[in-house]
Each structure stands twice: as structure tokens, then as C-alpha cells.
Amino acid sequence: MNKHIITQTLTLVLAIFSSVNCFSQERSCGMVEHMAQQMQDPDFAREYEKNQEKFREALEKNLRTNGSVYNRLNPIIIPVAVHFPSGQESDRVCLEALAQTQIDILNADYSATNSDASLWNSASSNYPGVVHGAANIEFCIATLNHPTDFVGNPIDPDLVEGEPAVTIGYNFGNGGDSDSNWSGYMNFLVKNAGGGILGYSPLGGSIGAGQSVVISPSAFGSGSGCTGYSPGSPYNLGRTVTHELGHFYNLNHTFSGSCNTDDGIADTPNISQPNYGCSTPGSISGCVSGESALTMSYMDYGNDSCLYMFSEGQTNVVDSYISGVLQSQFKPNTVACNSTQQDFILTSINGPISSCPTTAEDAVFEFDYTALSGFSQSVTFSATGQPAGSTITFTPASLNASGPFTMTVSGIENTDIGTYEIVVLGSSSFFIEQTTEVVLNNNCTSLQCTPFDSEENLELVIPDGTGPNVYGAQLQTTITIPDLGAITSLTVNVDITHTYIQDVVAVLYHPDLTTNAVLWLRDCLDEGAFDITFDDNGSDIVCADPTTGVYAPNETLSVFNGMDSAGDWLLLVVDGYNGDTGVVNDWSLEICSEQPLSSPELNTNLEQVFVYPNPNNGSFTLELKSDTSNNVSIDIYDVRGRKIHKQAYTNSGNFKQVIELGNIESGLYLMTVSDGQRKTTKRIIVK
């Protein structure tokens, strides 16, 4: 070979876009057109470039260290979900079986254990320097920890925990080809790919973004198929998925439309055009004199029965992309494969625990222990990473069959506040081990409620309405609140004198000037005043002259829960009818939040930490006042305790950084900010 290994760059991809047309009367692939469209999206292009950088680093490291990537003892287990959006639930048994035929094909094709791999023995003489490759991966349809919505209900009500992650009739991605609900899975989406093509995939895909490999119903799996999903000759051996999945794992076609560009793999002979049907090995010349097209490569266009191998260079790319880019994106605790890598699974049920137990109470984490494939050895539980000074006990201390167990963290009432990643280890006497992580957050805090009053006797005149049911100018008055952390609850007192209080509307605004709650909405009639404390737990308003007491507002104040307290809170009052006037006498806020029971140095040295906007769409600015040059580390966890983001930044003193979380689900997240040994935790709300 006279080619050198080159890494795949955006320049190469764009060159391929302009020179190759995947459509043909034979095998057809939509990867190029799909990527050309997707790369118009700046977010997609940005993630693509980041993933390519990670891939290049992983490939270089693997080849420098190993010479070949395939030398590890255990394969990487890839959790798979299969989606049949046009299928019928009554056909589930058949469709699950069809999905499994495809998984079996992939496991054989990528590990070079397919029955026709032996054809390489006679063909190899035509390809000096080419080695039949074997990827170090194993595919398994996920059976555990199926996706749920924010309240814990299954995304697909027909999915049964413990059964395969096969959705039927589920509207994956609202008709698109990515779905954030299925982030963390290798998704196969079986639907009409359009344009007469057999399938398509992003080149260098993202499991974290919930992207999928799209396959035509006529090219998925093997056998007789099911209603609406029938593999058709000559693409009825599942090799279309093998091909498209190669793209997802960063493999280009072996052809590029020109001899001036190639696929970036040193041991695949350079060719300009695809090869269809079943070509005799060595019968088609390559771009370099003396080289022949590797027509049996899964990344060419032959019939399924005539594609049977990856080269070692191709599987090095696959292994490096999966280990360097995708493996960290896998959703944990989802698969129970018959693999040497797993004999049992530990699954966290209720982490993280996000507030401090009161004195003499404990933090109790719940787990499931699942023994796989008849595994019956006794497994003993232990843990590391708990707060210094606390103790951990397991109940029971060990198990030899599937069942629940708990971990109790005791004595934490006087430990330092912070975020603790507790690693739970299950181990047997035969050195078989599995781990899982849980998070203990904000230990040793108490609920503290702080009142803030406006000036007394404000006597702010409310502009009168300008006609019947025509609102006058707005009256605005503010109270400045310091940073008390995330709001747990709040109440508002408003004191207004008016000759006809049904004219009045009063609204409370958060300092973001967007989030608001209507307190008083032209309630009652001609009563002359109200002095009301608005509380979500209050009763319905009872009108009197004057109206006083504790009542529920028209819109709940819980809309502010979880938000930061700091800033100027605004009370807006308007009059909706002419002829009657009034004044705002005064108003007040009482804000409740969790505060440390003590003030250890670890937290108080990072008091001036600001996050804005919050809530946000996954993009926000973090700013902190620092008197050190220590690197700033940021760790972000979801409400189940899974770390979704980790990054370290250099720090020149006054630190300010835009954090991009990408395509992330709405909800509450916990962000730990560390400056050397000093640390604090903030709540992030993504809408």
C-alpha cells in the first residue's frame, strides 16, 4: 500500500458530498445527502467537529499503544433500542424476533464471526497488506431501565421493564430521526427512508443526542419478516444495517467519486466508484496500479450475500470512535447480555438525595441487584466516596440472588456541605465486580425563611383606568433580594387601599422579568382595601371590607421554586376601570431556601457565583469572583445522579464562561463548581 493513514476531517467529508451520488438502481445509501443537510445546522456541525477531535485522539492513542485496537479482554457492550413506528402492537412477538435477527447479524459481522467470513481465506491473496478486522464490541437490545418522563412514567407505555427495548407505533422524534428521550441508546429506526434509498446515518453519529440509523423496512433483519417489515432480496441478510452503522461509527464508503480523495483508511484500496452486485475478488482495479477494489467490504455497495468483512483499519476506526466518543454517552444499567463482561447488574433506584437529613436521621439509597444468566455467587457490597465522618451500612450486606438492597449513610448531620459521588461496589470471591454511582447533594442544610419588606407608607398612587375595562399605566415597585440560593417556597404580602378593589390587578415578577405569578385578578367588588398574604397553601379569597388574611393567589407561587432568589423582585399593579383610585401602602416577600447548618471554608469562599439566565435552554453563563488562579471545574448532574457534563477551565481571577449543554431534556440539574479545594453547588433549570 502507498497510502498513509489519514484522519477524517470536515474537509474530506465535504469533498465526498460534492463528488458522490449514493442513489442508484441497486444498493442505495443516503448518508451523504443526510450529512450535507445536517451540517447546515451549526449545533450539529459543532458537535460533529468535537466528536471528530475526540476520535482522532482515541485513534492515535490506540494505534500508538497497541498497533491495533483489538486486544482487549472484554468487548464494549452497546445498548440498542429498535423502533417500528408503523408497526402494530399485536405483532410485538414477531417484531422483537426480527429485531433480534438483526442484532445477531451485527454481532457476527463486527466480530468477524459471520459464517461467510471464511471466504476471505481464498480472496485475501488479491489484497496484499489487508487484514480481516474484528471490532471489540457487542450489541445487546436494552432490557432494563427503560426511558421514563419527568414524573417517572414510561415514554412508551407498552415497554415492559425486563423486556426488550423495542417500540411499536411510537412516534420516534415526532417523525424525525433523533429523539432525546432515547439519548444513550444505539437507535435503529425502521421506516421508509425516502427517495428509494435503503437507509442512512450520520457520519460519526451521537448516541448522546438520541440520533438513529434509519433503515428501510425491506432491508432490516433477515428471515420471513413481519407484517409491513419483510427483508427483500438481495438485501435480506441485514448487511444494510451493518453498512449504515459503519457510517455512524465514522466509516466512509470505500469509494469517493474520485481517485484524488479516499476514505481515510490505509488498508482499503482507493477506488473512485461503488461496486454493485457480486464481483469476483480482485477483478476490479483500484486507483493505484496493482491494487484491487475491496468489493467484499461492508462499506461498498454489493449485494448482502457478497459483503462479508471489514479491514483491520476499518475496525480500528470503529473501536476508536466507540471508545473515544460514544462509550461515555451510553445510558448505564440498561443491558443484560450473555456476555463475559457482566454477571450481575447494580441499579440505583432513588439517587440523588439532595437535602440534609435532620439530626439523627440517615440518607437511605435504594438499589436493585440483578443476577444474570444463572449467576449465583454471593456478592458483597461496599462503597467509597461518602462524606468524611459518616458511616455506611448495607442491608443486606450481600446477596446471591436477584433482589433489592439499601445503603444507609449515617452521621452526616455535622459533615461538610458539598456534592459526594458515592461509588457502590459489588464483588464476589472470584474477583467478579460491578459498580454503580449515586450522588449525595447539599448535605447538612436547613430550611430558612427570610422576610424582606418594602418601605413603610409607600403611598404609591395607582394610575386610574382610562375607561370601562381599559387599563391605565402600570405602577411598578421593587424589593432587592440577596442570593439565598435556590427558592424552596415564598409568600407575598400586599397592602392596597382602593375605593373599588375589583378594578385592581397585581402581579409578582421574578428578577428575570419573565417568570411571574398573578396574585390578585380583579377579585371582589367595591370593598375599600385589601391587606393579604398570598400563600399557595392559603384558602380561596373571602371578600370583606377590608379584605385581610392568608389566601391562595390566582396563579401559584411555586412557579418560582428552584430559581435563584437574587435580584430586584417587581410588584406590578394596574387599574382596569376609570372612576375609582387607590394606593399601594406597602408590600413584602418571605423567601424560603435551604441554607447550610454550618459555614465550612469549602463553600463560603465561593459565595459570589452567578448563573444566568436561569431558567435557560441549556446555554447559560457562569460567573464567579475568584482570588486564585486555580482551574475551575464544572460537573453537572441530572436528577437521577448521572453526570451529564464535566469540564475544566483555566482561571485568571474573575472567571466568566458560557456553558453549552447541547440538546438536553427540560428539568432540574445540579451543577458543582470547584475552584481548587473550594466548592459550591447551584441548581440549573432547563426549559
In this prediction, what percent of the chain has a pLDDT beyond 70?
Answer: 86
In whole angstroms, what is the distance from residue 94 CA to residue 155 CA? 22
More confident residue, 81 or 623: 81
In this prediction, what percent of the chain has a pLDDT beyond 90?
Answer: 52
In whole angstroms, what is the distance from residue 561 CA to residue 584 CA? 26
Residue 665 to residues 242, 327, 339: CA-CA distances in angstroms? 30, 20, 32
Residue 99's pLDDT band (cuts 50, 70, 90): very high
C-alpha cell at 348: 440505583
- The model's pLDDT over 243-301, given as tens digits with 9 standing for 90+, comes to 999 999 999 999 988 999 889 898 999 999 999 999 999 999 999 999 999 999 999 99
Contact by Cβ (8 Å): 212, 178: yes
Specify the DSSP class assigned to residue 323. I
Contact by Cβ (8 Å): 659, 620: yes
What confidence score (pLDDT) does residue 643 get?
A: 75
- At residue 322, what are phi and psi to the nearest 5 degrees? -70, -45
What confidence score (pLDDT) does residue 386 get?
A: 86
Average pLDDT over residues 292-317: 95
What confidence score (pLDDT) does residue 59 get?
A: 86
- The model's pLDDT over 562-596, given as tens digits with 9 standing for 90+, comes to 899 989 999 999 999 999 999 999 999 999 886 65
What confidence score (pLDDT) does residue 389 get?
A: 77
What confidence score (pLDDT) does residue 446 get?
A: 56
- The model's pLDDT over 526-550, given as tens digits with 9 standing for 90+, comes to 888 999 999 999 999 999 988 999 9
Q: Which of 47, 96, 138, 244 is catalytic?
A: 244
What confidence score (pLDDT) does residue 361 get?
A: 60
Give the chain's mean pLDDT: 84
- The model's pLDDT over 111-146, given as tens digits with 9 standing for 90+, comes to 998 989 999 999 999 999 999 999 989 999 998 889
Q: Which residues of 160-178 are buried (b: 16+ CB within 10 A; e: fewer)?
A: eeeebbbbbebebbeeebb
Cell 484524488 belongs to 260
More confident residue, 353 or 99: 99
Cell 459550591 belongs to 680
Residue 313's pLDDT band (cuts 50, 70, 90): very high
C-alpha cell at 272: 473512485
Question: Which residues, in sequence order, are CB contacts of 675 under 8 Å at separation 6+?
Answer: 605, 606, 624, 626, 628, 630, 632, 651, 655
Residue 338's pLDDT band (cuts 50, 70, 90): very low
Selected from 1.10.357, 3.30.70, 3.40.390, 3.40.190, the CATH number assigned to the domain covering 28-251+317-329 reads 3.40.390
What confidence score (pLDDT) does residue 450 get?
A: 79
Do the strands 301-302 and 363-371 form a parallel or antiparallel pair, or are they unpaired?
A: unpaired
What confidence score (pLDDT) does residue 25 get?
A: 43
Question: Which residues, in sequence order, are CB contacts of 604 under 8 Å at separation 6+?
Answer: none
Kindly report which listed range (373-382, 455-464, 483-492, 518-527) carries the lowest average pLDDT score: 373-382
More confident residue, 597 or 322: 322
- The model's pLDDT over 204-218, given as tens digits with 9 standing for 90+, comes to 999 999 999 999 999
What confidence score (pLDDT) does residue 414 get?
A: 59
Question: Which residues, in sequence order, are CB contacts of 662 under 8 Å at separation 6+?
Answer: 43, 47, 208, 209, 618
In whole angstroms, what is the distance from residue 228 CA to residue 89 CA? 13
Q: Does 11 score more than 60 pLDDT?
A: no
Kindly report which listed range (281-285, 503-507, 606-610) carries the lowest average pLDDT score: 606-610
Single-letter code of the amino acid located at 87: G
The number of CA neighbours under 13 Å toward the Cβ of 619 is 3
Specify the DSSP class assigned to residue 502. G
- The model's pLDDT over 85-94, given as tens digits with 9 standing for 90+, comes to 999 999 999 9
Contact by Cβ (8 Å): 294, 226: no
More confident residue, 331 or 683: 331
> Has 57 been annotated as catalytic?
no
DSSP 550-588: EE--SS-GGGGTTSB--EEEEEEEEE-STT--EEEEEEE
Residue 421 to residues 332, 353, 426, 606: CA-CA distances in angstroms? 16, 11, 16, 20
DSSP 383-411: EE-PPTT-EEEEESSEESSSEEEEEEEES
Q: Does 12 score more than 50 pLDDT?
A: no
In whole angstroms, what is the distance from residue 572 CA to residue 509 CA? 8
Entry field: residues in the chain: 687
The closest of 309, 254, 281, 353 to 31, measured between CA atoms, is: 254
Delimiting residues of CATH 2.60.120.260 domain(s) in the chain: 446-595
What confidence score (pLDDT) does residue 434 get?
A: 75
pTM score of the predicted model: 0.50
CATH code for the structural domain at 599-686 = 2.60.40.3080
Beta strand spans in 8-136 (E): 76-84
Asked if residue 463 has a cis previous peptide bond (ω within 30° of 0), the answer is no
Residue 201 to residues 198, 249, 265, 684: CA-CA distances in angstroms? 11, 10, 19, 33
The number of CA neighbours under 13 Å toward the Cβ of 158 is 18
Residue 373's pLDDT band (cuts 50, 70, 90): low
Residue 635's pLDDT band (cuts 50, 70, 90): confident
Average pLDDT over residues 174-186: 95
Average pLDDT over residues 167-175: 95
| Topology given in CATH for the domain delimited by 344-444 | Immunoglobulin-like (2.60.40)
- The model's pLDDT over 427-460, given as tens digits with 9 standing for 90+, comes to 876 556 677 888 876 445 556 777 888 877 899 9
Delimiting residues of CATH 2.60.40.3080 domain(s) in the chain: 599-686
- The model's pLDDT over 640-683, given as tens digits with 9 standing for 90+, comes to 556 788 888 888 777 888 999 988 887 777 788 888 767 777 77
The CATH superfamily assigned to 446-595 is Galactose-binding domain-like (2.60.120.260)
- The model's pLDDT over 348-360, given as tens digits with 9 standing for 90+, comes to 888 677 655 443 4
DSSP 47-67: HHHHHHHHHHHHHHHHHHHHS
Q: Does 188 score more than 90 pLDDT?
A: yes
What confidence score (pLDDT) does residue 560 get?
A: 95
Average pLDDT over residues 159-182: 92
Q: Does 602 score more than 50 pLDDT?
A: no
Identify the burial level of 395 via C-beta atoms within 10 angstroms of its C-beta, where 0-12 means exposed, 13-18 middle and 19 or more buried: exposed
- CB atoms inside a 10 Å sphere around CB 604: 13
Residue 337's pLDDT band (cuts 50, 70, 90): low
What confidence score (pLDDT) does residue 66 get?
A: 55
